[in-house]
Structure 1
Amino acid sequence: MRAAATAIRFLTRLPVPGGAETSETFAQEIRRALWLFPLVGAGIGAATALALWLADLALPFALAVLVALAIEARLTGALHEDALADLCDGLGGGRTPEDVLRILKDSRIGAFGALGLGSGVALRAGGLMAMPDPAQAMIVLVVSGALGRLLMLAVMAAVPPVPGREGLGASVASSADWKGLGIAALLAAPVLLLGAFADARAMVVACILGVVFLFWYRGLLRRRIGGSTGDAIGAAAYVGIVLATLAFAMER
């Protein structure tokens, strides 16, 4: 229960009691909490799907999608959106690894960050709007929430943290491994089966896109900054959500 509370508190702004309260207990609980990230992601997707259903009762579907995504950003504190913007700023504006890492520490958003974040949100919103009906969009929100966090864990396992870099992202990434990723996938199996039931071909496409992205992203991070950071990991989750959404949109 403590691991579950830690995972929820890490990925959302919900003040769930029972999670790790100190850096020492966080280090102890985060390894088990990582296994639950895809399930928490599915739960975030379910909450967003509920918001979409309620908004669709009063608004045109396109507006309902935007309202639901705004509510999700409030629920998560725009955790992954912020990481995506920071990473785009760093990779777009930095010429050397030192430049990139310096820009990643800057909380201000630049042109590359604004374009990257805007493009990501637009692609996700457009993919949801392209669904044949609200019910399919609701399923995709749940499934993509799980797949995005699975890709996040895969990046943690495949790309070691930047040497010598400290922080929350590095401490979380150092706890991930391939065994944990396998356990997380097994725990999220019911959600993945839901996606396969809704559209098996789209699920296959989403998984292929995720694997291709992982190999490309691994090379990019190693070449540009020598490893992963918290922003790089968080951005991967949002990219995974977008790729899964587009996979289902293409197969409609």
Structure 2
Amino acid sequence: MTSGWPRAAATALQFLTRLPVPGGASADPARFEADLPRALALFPLTGALIGTLTAATLWLASQLWPLPLAVLLALALEARLTGALHEDAVADLCDGFGGGRTPEDVLRIMKDSRIGAFGLLGLAFAIALRAAGLIALPDAATAAVALVVSGWLGRLLMLAAMLAIPPMPGRPGLGGSVASHATPRALALALLLSLPAPLLGLWWDALAMLLALLGSALFLAWFRRLVLRHLGGSTGDCFGFAGYAGLVLTTLAFTAHR
């Protein structure tokens, strides 16, 4: 039986991916609660791992096909790897915020399994921006680095959103349960454990890395106000949306000054 950090790593992988990882705590509520503080600190590192697997797919595919096709294949594999966790959150949040007038309306729409016009357009534009940004990069190597760094920053932004936006009052759920374990210490530890990912970004393209960090900070300030205005507090979909926003913003940062 695993314990401590190995079990926390398995829990983080089980939470963020659909990989058949043994030894986590997702099936045991008591263990899940106990492992969450450490698992949250591993979210950015897990994101960098997801980005690395996606980047490897892109690079291998680029040896056989043009970059645009390699990008689409890599993003398709990533969606399968994560169970489209973030894409689902983007669609739900766009539908809820676009069609709901009160917090109750927003929640009702977000819980509806059907996708509406706002959700469809929001998800389509989010995926298109990310894919187009990767295709616009000069080569597969730069696109691969962007995928690793964006995987890291997207999950770091999730953790930052958990700290910055209080859970929606009176609405207990998985998102609120997870967010309650997010602490400044967990964020600092997450940065330390995943330091190679941002260092890779700085080494490859320092300006792009700084733009990505600045864009993420500005996004978080705006997103916090948006969520509080529409819902009065965050839900799990809010954190998933923040994660995908980090993926898009990092990709656009690497493309910005080309």
TM range (shorter): over 0.9
Q: Does 1:9 align with 2:33?
A: no
Identity, % of aligned positions:
63
Between the aligned partners of 1:188 and 1:108, the Cα distance in structure 2 is 36
Q: Does 1:192 align with 2:203?
A: no
Between the aligned partners of 1:189 and 1:68, the Cα distance in structure 2 is 24
3-state SS of paired residue (2:61): helix
Between the aligned partners of 2:41 and 2:169, the Cα distance in structure 1 is 24
TM-score (norm 1): 0.98
Q: Does 1:143 align with 2:149?
A: yes
**Residue identity in the other structure for 1:154:** A
**Residue identity in the other structure for 2:21:** V
Per-residue CA distance 1:12-66 (angstroms, 9 max, x = gap): 0001011003111111111110000001000000100111112112211101100
Between the aligned partners of 1:90 and 1:211, the Cα distance in structure 2 is 24
Counterpart for residue 106 of structure 2: 100
Between the aligned partners of 2:250 and 2:181, the Cα distance in structure 1 is 25
Between the aligned partners of 1:58 and 1:244, the Cα distance in structure 2 is 26
Q: Does 1:173 align with 2:199?
A: no
3-state SS of paired residue (2:170): coil
User: Structure 1 residue 251: deviation in Å?
Assistant: 2.7
List alignment gaps of at least 5 residues for structure 1. Answer: none
**Residue identity in the other structure for 2:68:** A
Structure 1 residue corresponding to 2:252, chosen from 212, 230, 246: 246
Over the aligned positions, Cα root-mean-square deviation in angstroms equals 0.8
Aligned length: 252
Between the aligned partners of 2:192 and 2:216, the Cα distance in structure 1 is 17
Counterpart for residue 88 of structure 1: 94
TM-score (norm 2): 0.96
Between the aligned partners of 1:105 and 1:31, the Cα distance in structure 2 is 27
3-state SS of paired residue (2:39): helix
Between the aligned partners of 2:58 and 2:209, the Cα distance in structure 1 is 22
Between the aligned partners of 2:187 and 2:124, the Cα distance in structure 1 is 30
Between the aligned partners of 2:209 and 2:60, the Cα distance in structure 1 is 26
| 4+ residue segments displaced more than 2 Å | none
List alignment gaps of at least 5 residues for structure 2. Answer: 1-5
3-state SS of paired residue (2:137): coil
